[in-house]
Amino acid sequence: MRLEETLRDARSGGRPLLVPYVTGGLYDGWTELLEAVVAAGADAVEIGIPFSDPVMDGPTIQTASQQALARGATPMTILGDVEGLAVGAPLAVMTYANLVMHAGYDRFASALVDAGVDAAILPDLPLDEFGPWGSAADAAGIETVLLAAPTTTDERLARICERSKGFVYAVSLLGVTGERGSLSEPSSTVGERCRGLTDTPVLLGVGISTPEQAAEAVRHADGVVIGSALIRRLLDGGGVDVAADFIREVRRALDETAS
Amino acid sequence: MTAVSGRGGPVVLPEPGPEPVDLGRFGGFGGRFVPETLVPALEELEDEFRHAWSSGDFRREFGGLLDTYAGRPTPVTECHRLSERLGVRVLLKREDLTHTGSHKINNVLGQALLTRRMGKNRVIAETGAGQHGVATATACALFGFDCVVFMGAVDAQRQALNVWRMGLLGAEVRTVESGSATLKDATNEALRDWVASVETTHYCIGSVVGPHPFPWIVRELQSVIGSEARSQCREVLGGDDPDAVVACVGGGSNAMGTFAGFRDTAARLVGVEAAGEGLESGRHGASISRGVPGVLHGARSLYLQDEHGQIREAHSISAGLDYPGVGPEHVALAESGRAEYDSVTDHEALEAFRLLAESEGIIPALESAHAIAWVAREAGAALPSGSTVLITLSGRGDKDAAQLADAFADTGSGAGSGTASGTGNDGP
């Protein structure tokens, strides 16, 4: 329970939570990004394990996934890269159900443990199909973060909030990952609905693109996930320093909301 | 010619078939592996269809559209010259004679009625060969819905005529460049659109694939093929069922609709997948023969994958079979042994395309030509001489004419053994 414990501790210190997303295997030495974003103020890091057909992802993450796959990244090479690192924050992988099923649920869960990963996020494994993976993950001590959407009914939302471990991933809008010009209207509602149902930290993600949007989002949630806005900077040629600078800016904007 | 009831007769919808249990499971396959955002819409669709499919009003309206708009019932044609040549008695179920030229119209008319019942006014669809896209665009024009069709860029090029038809029907065609730029990628993009638009939009899936309830809905809406064919075969065969029932399988909707009418008979059920350039070449679309269990586009089924679980690109000369997966109920039928699955190559399909044109004056869709090719290859072998076989001709081949004129020219074989011009393409 290292992810949830860490996030709860940070929250109880009054700190808005920040979890950046990094595509695993994006370039040689990509794991430098993990250390850099943590040093810049991330509370945990999501590592994307690229899948050939990422239906929850928009163009930015699709491009990054293709780039990593073209370099030969596989679930096991990415976990191998991560193993033994002292990042200084909990790690979660985000990937699609097929890669987990292909490896086998038990084998995948123990591979995560061996690599020092604490949690998993599987956007195409909703509550109804969650059982077999949930059992394997629980047995291995892997926390599984479930997603809550603006369309989720109250009855489902209660079950999602109860079953989700690590945090509750509140999807801030109707749509796939990618930068947006402004924070969507449903984000406040879905964040507040989740917070009304659970004590587990609630993070808003999908479409949160700027420090200003992040600051606005944490009025309705315990924190934010930032993915495409970070990855786009890397795809545009920015290196680890550009990535760290961006996360530092977001951290500063979040901290100002708490002061 | 044997007189068989067909057009002009009444459309008789079959009784509802068995509903899959445990969130759309067929054996261990199927299910609902989708982002949370889509779950409520799938639950709504499931409830709506369950009510509609047992409602007299819905069935009357659906049957009426199949009759007066789609041109059902479609006839069964006995192929005398082809039968003589092959030594087996061949009957064709003529889905090529429906409005828009393929069986896809059956499914989209039903889903259009469901769209209206749910109060939605925008429809999206994926398409490979363009037949489902054209059918969806047609139904949307009929019902006054906005329509967006996602189509891989490779497919849009090889099926340019269908792209033009969809535009004429008022649909917006969005070409998809990602991945292999074929049906798999078009389906990804349609799902991404739906995640954003689900409150106003119905995703009209074109085959027995996707998350529950789609494999069930599409099978039920297509089962009229099999129920008509069964009674028509009995008229032709003096009360008997055919020895074998054969259909091509991409996602598998025409095969599943056909099989639904014969599952409780003694007929062998044979699904024919695309072997592309050969199963050993790695360039094929034979998911049942060479796929492994996995999850794509919302369902657990068999998919072509690499050793890490990344989905591989399929290949078939026929855009409608160029898909790395197959409907979950087909996998269950294969596992139980009730249906058998085999494959034919691009080359065999091309030969069959010409064979049917020359021997019967019927130009089949390249997809359907795979079913013809299996019968041509196996007559006297897996299909004993003298047996009777029903083949579902899922669509007509006009859409393929331009592409095949080039293919035949490349192989130097010409389109017809007896023609002087040798291209078979009499267009400008």
pLDDT tens digits, residue range B326-352? 999 999 999 999 999 999 999 999 999
- Reported residue count of chain B is 428
Q: Which residues of B touch A51 (CB under 8 A)?
A: 309-310
Per annotation, catalytic residue among A4, A57, A81, A179: A57
Catalytic residue status for A5? no
Q: Do A124 and B34 make contact, defined as CB atoms within 8 angstroms?
A: yes
List the catalytic residue out of A28, A32, A35, A46.
A46
Q: Domains in chain B and their CATH numbers?
A: 24-71+104-214 (3.40.50.1100), 76-100+223-411 (3.40.50.1100)
CA distance A256 to chain B (A): 32
Alpha-carbon distance of B103 to A74, in angstroms, equals 40
Per-residue pLDDT of chain A (259 residues; tens, 9 = 90+): 599 999 999 999 999 999 999 999 999 999 999 999 999 999 999 999 999 999 999 999 999 999 999 999 999 999 999 999 999 999 999 999 999 999 999 999 999 999 999 999 999 999 999 999 999 999 999 999 999 999 999 999 999 999 999 999 999 999 999 999 998 888 889 999 999 999 999 999 999 999 999 999 999 999 999 999 999 999 999 999 999 999 999 999 999 998 7
Pairing of strands B339-345, B76-79: unpaired
Pairing of strands B122-127, B268-276: unpaired
Cα(B206)–Cα(B136) distance, integer angstroms: 9
Tokens of B2: 């044997």
Put simply, the answer to whether B305 touches A98 (Cβ < 8 Å) is yes
Residues A113, A200: Cα–Cα separation, whole Å: 22
Q: Which of A69, A74, A171 shows the shortest C-beta gap to B37? A: A171
Please judge whether B37 and A151 are an interchain contact, meaning their C-beta atoms are less than 8 angstroms apart. yes
Q: Which residues of chain A have a Cβ shorter than 8 Å from any chain B Cβ?
A: 51-56, 58, 62, 66, 69, 74-76, 96-99, 101-103, 123-129, 146-153, 156, 160, 171, 173-176
Distance from the Cα of B163 to chain A's closest Cα (Å) equals 24
Strand-pair category, B299-303 with B292-296: antiparallel
- As a residue count, chain A comes to 259
Q: Kind and range of the H or E element at B194?
A: helix B183-197
Nearest to B110, CA basis, from B150, B51, B65? B65
Using an 8 Å Cβ cutoff, are A203 and A17 in contact?
yes
Q: To 10 degrees, the CA torsion angle through B311, B315, B316, B322? A: 30
Cα B328 to Cα B31: distance, rounded to the nearest angstrom = 9
**Six-digit token string for B310:** 């990344």
Cβ of A55 within 8 Å of Cβ of B184? The answer is no
A46 catalytically annotated: yes
Alpha-carbon distance B323 to nearest alpha carbon in chain A (angstroms) = 13
Chain A residues with CB-CB distance to B47 below 8 A: none
Q: What is the ipTM of this complex?
A: 0.96
Six-digit token string for A258? 């708490």
Chain B interface, mutation test: which of A129, A155, A160, most B Cβ atoms within 10 Å? A129
Strand ranges for B210-368 from DSSP E = 244-248, 268-276, 292-296, 299-303, 339-345
In whole angstroms, give the CA distance from residue A222 to residue A215: 11
Q: What's the distance, CA B401 to chain centroid?
A: 19
Cα A160 to Cα A133, A147, A193, B418, distances in angstroms: 15, 7, 12, 68
Structural domains for chain A: 3-145+211-247 (3.20.20.70)
Q: Do B23 and A128 touch (CB under 8 A)?
A: yes
Selecting from A75, A148, A174 the residue whose C-beta is nearest the C-beta of B196 gives A174
Task: Give CA B14 to chain center in angstroms.
Answer: 19
Q: Six-digit token pair at A198?
A: 């659970």
Q: In chain B, which residue's Cα lies nearest the Cα of A57? A: B192
Convert the pLDDT of each residue in B364-403 to its tens digit.
Answer: 999 999 999 999 999 999 999 999 999 999 999 988 888 8
Q: What is the mean pLDDT of residues B36-49?
A: 97
